[in-house]
Amino acid sequence: MTMTPTLVAGVDSSTQQTKLVVLDLARGVLVHSSALPHPDGTELDPTHWWSALHGSGSAEPHGAAAMSIAAQQHTTIFLDEDGESVRPALLWNDLRAAESARRLREELGDAVWLEATGLLPDSAHAVSKLRWVAEHEPENAARIASVLLPHDWLTWHVLGRQGDPVTDRSDASATGYWSPHTEQFRVDLLTRALGHATRTPAVLPLSGIAGQTSSGTLVASGCGDNGATHLALDTAPGDVVISIGTSITVSMRTLHPIDDPAGVIDTMADPRSGFIPIVVMLNGARVLLATARMLGISLDRLDVLARSGAPDANGALLVPYLDGERNPVADASSGRLIGLSRRSMTPADIARATVLGLGCAIADAFETITRSGTPLRRILLVGGGARSACVRQMVADLIGRAVEWPRHREHAAYGAARQAAWALTGESPDWPTLPSVAVNPSADRAWVRGVRDRYSAATVDRIG
């Protein structure tokens, strides 16, 4: 008699869509998947995410014994005493809190923030968004009784809003008021930002159980999407993950937090143990989409053109700050195309100039993150933008190291499914290693130094 397999589900509520994967617990094989899009914008009613999660079947996932929800980090949801939204959520890529973040840094000093939280407040962090609401919407600020990030809020809703909300250490570390040293919320910093204290969710461990759905599905604690991606890839200390999605993130698993006086690196916690220092840039794969739209071509055609252009795009280079930028801080900036000449004014060189700009941003972040002292182990390239062969080769060329491209899939959702399996069984599932393709640097990289120098000069000029 054929035994019905035990299933586990992982959900990723990202910026652009909700993705559900249901896996066979024993083998890690995909049984079912679905997805629904989210509205665009940097300010949204969180019920849009609940509607997408419910509509995709993620609220009661396909007979799964256990489930876990990963979601976009930093995005901040403001709730009143009754658990209702005070105002629309502010997404991670909303830049309006940049000046509020600067004031918070000035009030306490960078050294105090780094010691307290392992990061310096910027526009993305919940602590900065709370200060912005306090400064610009005092009536709303007075009504805020609790603050949740999307994975916390969605987990609470899946459980029918029964009991108190919970979170995990990866998302707690993204708020700007959690200590990597004590692993406790710093309510004093939250109070400084908002003007009064609020409730904070309980922080559960990786295998923690938040509750059960009405149909009996066990619900794990969940985690942030970056932590979930590291779970999916089963990273170890020294592994670097470069993710090219809506944003670009370059993160490295370490045993200890990293304090970066420049404020480029945020110390975020790994859902398992240890930390994931991370550099986050706002402009990712949508830069490729924008150039493809400008040229009137598909992304596949853009990839072909970029590979056919001159290695250095004949001097052309895109500074990819199309939506402002977070690292480096350039919230009032915009993108620009430099080095144009009659020679470089071709579709191939414009396409390549776009990939060069993204590649240089990644190379800068990679050099920053790997100065931490943790011995480098693997470099893994993931996300929708990594499906471009030119992007993969460009990253290898510009950082001068071989990179691994795991077979494309929804890594954050798979990581959430791994967490669900962990919560169900009490241990990490023994699933097969994801096949990957190695991409080595080109033999001729004489053009790299000139491109990196042009990018550095252009970005310094842009934010100066």
Contacts 24+ apart (CB under 8 A), 261-266: 261/110, 261/111, 261/114, 262/368, 263/110, 263/119, 263/120, 263/122, 263/329, 264/327, 264/328, 264/365, 264/368, 265/119, 265/368, 265/369, 265/372, 266/118, 266/119, 266/174
Residue 38 lies in a domain: yes
- Read off the pLDDT of residues 170-201 as tens digits, 9 standing for 90 and up: 999 999 999 999 999 999 999 999 999 999 99
Residue 464 CB neighbour total at 10 angstroms? 6
Mind listing the pLDDT tens digit for each residue in 395-411? 999 999 999 999 777 89
Give the CA count within 13 Å in the CB-facing half-sphere of 397: 26
pLDDT of residue 325: 74
pLDDT category of residue 327 using cuts at 50, 70 and 90:
low
Closest CA to 144 of 216, 92, 60, 82: 82
DSSP β-ladder status, 146-148 and 77-79: antiparallel
Q: State residue 169's pLDDT score.
A: 96
Ramachandran category for residue 207: left, alpha or beta (phi over 0 → left; psi -120 to 50 → alpha): alpha
Query: Residue 18 in contact with residue 12, Cβ under 8 Å?
Result: yes
> What is the tens place of the pLDDT at every residue in 97-118?
999 999 999 999 999 999 999 9
Question: Residue 45, exposed/middle/buried by CB under 10 A (0-12, 13-18, 19+)?
Answer: middle
Tell whether 119 is covered by a domain.
yes
For 195-233, the pLDDT digits (tens) are 999 999 999 999 999 999 988 999 999 999 999 999 999
Short-list 13, 15, 5, 28, CA closest to 68: 13
Angle, CA of 266, 129 and 123, to the nearest 5°? 45
Two tokens at 405?
A: 């491209």
By percentage, how much of the chain surpasses pLDDT 70?
Answer: 97
State residue 329's pLDDT score.
66
Please report, as a single letter, which amino acid is at residue 106: E
For the chain, the domain total comes to 1
How far apart CA 229 and CA 406 sit, in angstroms, is: 12
Output helix, strand, coil percentages for the chain, rounded to the nearest 5: 35, 20, 40
Distance (Å, rounded) from C-alpha 316 to C-alpha 339? 4
Q: What confidence tier does 60 reach under pLDDT thresholds 50, 70, 90?
A: confident
Query: How many Å separate Cα 14 from the centre of its chain?
Result: 9
Q: Which residues pair with 202 in a beta bridge?
A: 166
What is the length of the chain?
464
| The amino acid at 135 | E
Residue partners of 17: CB distance under 8 A and separation at least 6: 35, 36, 37, 38, 52
Q: Do the strands 379-382 and 240-244 form a parallel or antiparallel pair, or are they unpaired?
A: parallel
Looking at the annotation, which residues are catalytic? Answer: 225
User: What is the C-alpha separation between 356 and 242, in angstroms, rounded?
Assistant: 16
Within a 10 A sphere around the Cβ of 295, how many other Cβ atoms? 16
| Mean pLDDT calculated for residue range 252-278 | 91
| Rounded distance between C-alpha atoms, residue 71 and residue 18, angstroms | 9
Tokens of residue 146, six digits: 């609790």
Instruction: Label residue 462 by pLDDT band (50, 70, 90).
Output: very low
pLDDT for position 236 = 95
Structure tokens at 5: 């397999």
265 within domain boundaries: no
Check which CATH number belongs to the domain holding 23 and give it.
3.30.420.40
- Reported as a pLDDT band with limits 50, 70 and 90, residue 324 is confident
- Strand 218-220 and strand 403-406: pairing? unpaired
- pLDDT tens profile 116-173: 999 999 999 999 999 999 999 999 999 999 999 999 999 999 999 999 999 999 999 9
Query: In this structure, is residue 124 part of a structural domain?
Result: yes
pLDDT band at 332 (very low <50, low <70, confident <90, very high): low
Residues 6+ positions from 168 with CB-CB distance below 8 Å:
151, 203, 204, 205, 206, 208, 221, 222, 223, 224, 227, 271
Poorest-confidence range of 170-179, 232-241, 252-261?
252-261
- DSSP string for 57-117: TTTS-TT-SEEEEEE-SS-BEEE-TTS-BSSPEEPTT--TTHHHHHHHHHHH-HHHHHHHH
Could you give the angle at the alpha carbon of 320 between the alpha carbons of 240 and 307, nearest 5°?
75
Residue 213 lies in a domain: yes
Q: What is the pLDDT of residue 463?
A: 45
**H or E stretch including 127?**
helix 126-136
- Mean pLDDT (the chain) is 93
Q: Tokens in use for 304? A: 């072909």
Exposed (0-12), middle (13-18) or buried (19+): which is 60, by Cβ within 10 Å? middle
Q: Would you say residue 431 lies in a domain?
A: no
* CA dihedral sign, ordered 157, 161, 162, 166: positive
Q: What is the mean pLDDT of residues 348-370?
A: 95
pLDDT at 3: 60
What is the structure's pLDDT at 331? Answer: 57
Q: 445 lies in a domain?
A: no
- For residue 345, tell me if it sits in a domain: no
- DSSP structure string for 219-237: EE--EEHHHHHHHHTT--T
Q: What is the span of the domain harbouring residue 86?
A: 7-225
